[in-house]
Amino acid sequence: MGLLLFPVGSAPMTGDRMWHFAVSVFLVELYGNSLLLTAVYGLVVAGSVLLLGALIGDWVDKNARLKVAQTSLIVQNSSVILCGVILMIIFLFKTQLLTLYHGWLLTLCYILVITIANIANLASTATAITIQRDWIVVVAGEDRSKLADMNATIRRIDQLTNILAPMAVGQIMTFGSPMIGCGFISGWNLMSMCVEYLLLWKVYQKTPTLAHKSAKVEASELKQLNAKKESDMKPAEGVQLIIEKDVSGFEPQQEKEVGCAARIAEPFITFRDGWVAYYNQPVFLAGMGLAFLYMTVLGFDCITTGYAYTQGLSGSVLSLLMGASAVTGIMGTVAFTWLRRKCGLIRTGLISGVAQLACLILCAISVFMPGSPMDLTVSPFADISARLFENEPLPTIASPEPEMIFATGIPNLLNGSIAPVNSDPEMSPEPVPLISVSLLFAGVIAARVGLWSFDLTVTQLLQENVIESERGIINGVQNSMNYLLDLLHFIMVILAPNPEAFGLLVLISVSFVAMGHIMYFRFAQKSLGKQLFVCHTPDPKTAPDSSPPGNTSTV
């Protein structure tokens, strides 16, 4: 039955990857090659998940599994389809829309596109929580080895779609047009929505346990559960027994009539209780450790890609590096399943963290190698302060050709302007040594093995140690934490956008990754005690190798 979950998970992953790649390109194309709309979209998405993650998770907990999965699936795909249609209309009639109501109608269309795209992202978050954090646990049952294999398989699919989906859309947009790309994505989501809906129904029918869901407990009861010591659990009890024990004493209560003020305050109370419940979880430190890994520029996002361009790497080289990154990510999923069988789940996280940090040392060394533009005598805020005091407008991107970027200048990471590499116009630009950037990307690519193994470790810890009635809200808050740290890393780049400061950002990123793994080490120390460094081979199906802190007798 687990095999049916893979196409259910892979189809939305493919659509998500295509849409997330394409929507940024569409917004840049629409707004005259400016990053403004893309930046607004990114800020809205991050802020929405940060504020609404707990509420989305609470909604997942309070409703039947099939209803949640079907609703989020329909809303997600319908939003993408509608957004694609609106974008096609804008591309077709942009000139006419500019003249209507002094351009306000076009501005309204931009707002509508960003709003609907944000709704699609929130629905995608709900889909990921219910399928990858809840359904998969129920389908795996008591077999933890099966759960680990299913998690690893889904992550491998995610790695492949992360490369293949943008490539497919990019080729369509290159040899066709953005409008054709919108039509293709809308058609893909329409087709995949029908297939996913049928597969969800089939999985639900063939897994009777999915129909039984523990009732969502009240906030006061949640606090009692979170305050309860996990050490009361018997050594032989597994994850499913934890769930049964925690919720067996609660019976669904009849709905009480509430006033208007109570209804208005309910989302805020849910938000507060969700974060409190997350803090009180036995795996809180492990989840925080994972979130801290998002505060980094050491990944294949627009920041690192922009820096690579300043160092003379071509687009074809970057695509090869991204492919190598996907390969090492898949290797990390394989390493996770092997290490978990040999050393247990918690120790797998420790080993993965050490491996990631060891590889990131190369990134730290690259900062001081020949070719690194790092210059501590240049203020990280020089670019911003100069523009503020001189009242210079922020220029838009002029879409320079890659050859011009490499030969004449550096694309500013904040606003896309071109800053001369050599301040003396009489001197010809010298080639930038590749030692520094080579070490940087070698470290980033190699670290993906430990990164994805660690990510899978924390994912399974949350799956196994969070009770069923809190599974949605806790994972929703975890998503909020991830987005919060990711948002902070973009703010860090905005404050220090010049290439001379990128080396400082690398060192800060390595420091945050180290802090995240220190948090995980503290969690492992509480969980395993003196047996922390005693590696043994547990029973892959029944051994409770992910016992929460305070329950060292189960290891």
pLDDT digits (tens, 9 = 90+) for 81-118: 999 999 888 888 877 877 777 778 888 888 999 999 99
- Looking at the structure, do residues 291 and 362 belong to the same domain, yes or no? yes
| pLDDT score at 545 | 53
Residue 390 exposed, middle or buried by CB count within 10 Å (0-12, 13-18, 19+): exposed
Radius of gyration of the chain (CA): 25
| pLDDT score at 25 | 76
Residue 153 tokens, joined:
């398989």
- Looking at the structure, do residues 202 and 345 belong to the same domain, yes or no? no
What span, in angstroms and rounded, lies between the C-alpha atoms of 305 and 312?
11
What span, in angstroms and rounded, lies between the C-alpha atoms of 45 and 53?
11
pLDDT greater at residue 142 or residue 396: 142
Is 75 a domain residue? yes
Q: Which of 163-177, 365-379, 462-476, 524-538 has the lowest mean pLDDT?
A: 524-538
pLDDT greater at residue 252 or residue 486: 486
* Confidence label for 123 from pLDDT (cuts 50, 70 and 90): very high
| 3-state SS class at 494 | helix
What span, in angstroms and rounded, lies between the C-alpha atoms of 466 and 354?
26
Q: Give the whole-number percent of the chain exceeding pLDDT 90.
A: 35
| pLDDT score at 106 | 83
Q: Which domain holds residue 141?
A: 1-212
Torsions phi, psi of 142, nearest 5?
-85, -10
- How far CA 123 is from CA of 17, 18, 128, in Å, comes to 14, 16, 9
pLDDT greater at residue 389 or residue 173: 173
Strand partners, 409: 420
| pLDDT exceeds 80 at position 534 | no
Residue 49 tokens, joined:
């998940």
Is 235 a domain residue? no
Q: For residue 506, how many other CB atoms are within 10 A of its CB?
A: 25
**Whether the model pTM is above 0.85:** no
Return the DSSP state at 207.
Answer: -
* Across 264-270, average pLDDT: 87
| pLDDT score at 257 | 61
| pLDDT exceeds 90 at position 426 | no
| pLDDT exceeds 70 at position 431 | no
| pLDDT score at 130 | 92
| pLDDT exceeds 90 at position 352 | yes
Is 489 a domain residue? yes
Q: Give the whole-number percent of the chain exceeding pLDDT 70.
A: 74
| pLDDT score at 381 | 58
Is 127 a domain residue? yes
- Looking at the structure, do residues 286 and 160 belong to the same domain, yes or no? no
β strands within 331-427, DSSP E: 409-411, 418-420
- Looking at the structure, do residues 161 and 276 belong to the same domain, yes or no? no
Is 519 a domain residue? yes
- Looking at the structure, do residues 126 and 48 belong to the same domain, yes or no? yes
* Confidence label for 212 from pLDDT (cuts 50, 70 and 90): confident
- Looking at the structure, do residues 352 and 463 belong to the same domain, yes or no? yes
* Across 183-209, average pLDDT: 89
- Looking at the structure, do residues 157 and 278 belong to the same domain, yes or no? no
What span, in angstroms and rounded, lies between the C-alpha atoms of 218 and 247?
11
pLDDT greater at residue 410 or residue 118: 118
Is 474 a domain residue? yes
The residue among 163, 135, 433, 489 whose CA lies nearest residue 294 is: 489
What is the residue-wise DSSP string for 285-347?
HHHHHHHHTTS-S-SSSHHHHHHHHHTT--HHHHHHHHHHHHHHHHHHHHHHHHHHHHH-HHH
- Looking at the structure, do residues 176 and 270 belong to the same domain, yes or no? no
| pLDDT tens column, 25-56 | 787 777 765 667 777 888 888 889 999 999 99
| pLDDT tens column, 360-395 | 999 999 999 888 887 777 665 555 555 445 554 444
- How far CA 195 is from CA of 190, 191, 292, in Å, comes to 9, 7, 36
> 266-270, 271-275, 285-289 — which one is most confidently predicted on average?
285-289
Which amino acid is residue 516, in one-letter code? G
- Looking at the structure, do residues 191 and 87 belong to the same domain, yes or no? yes
| pLDDT tens column, 305-340 | 778 877 877 767 887 888 888 899 999 999 999 999
CATH number at residue 57: 1.20.1250
Is 524 a domain residue? yes
- Looking at the structure, do residues 311 and 444 belong to the same domain, yes or no? yes
- How far CA 226 is from CA of 314, 375, 454, 526, in Å, comes to 52, 49, 25, 17
> 132-141, 169-178, 285-294, 387-396 — which one is most confidently predicted on average?
285-294
Is 544 a domain residue? no
User: What average pLDDT does the structure give for the chain?
Assistant: 78
Residue 377 exposed, middle or buried by CB count within 10 Å (0-12, 13-18, 19+): exposed
| pLDDT score at 97 | 79
CATH number at residue 382: 1.20.1250.20
- Looking at the structure, do residues 278 and 382 belong to the same domain, yes or no? yes
| pLDDT score at 454 | 96
Torsions phi, psi of 410, nearest 5?
-120, 125
- Looking at the structure, do residues 193 and 280 belong to the same domain, yes or no? no
> Percentage helix, strand, coil, to 5, in the chain?
75, 0, 25
Q: How many domains does the chain have?
A: 2
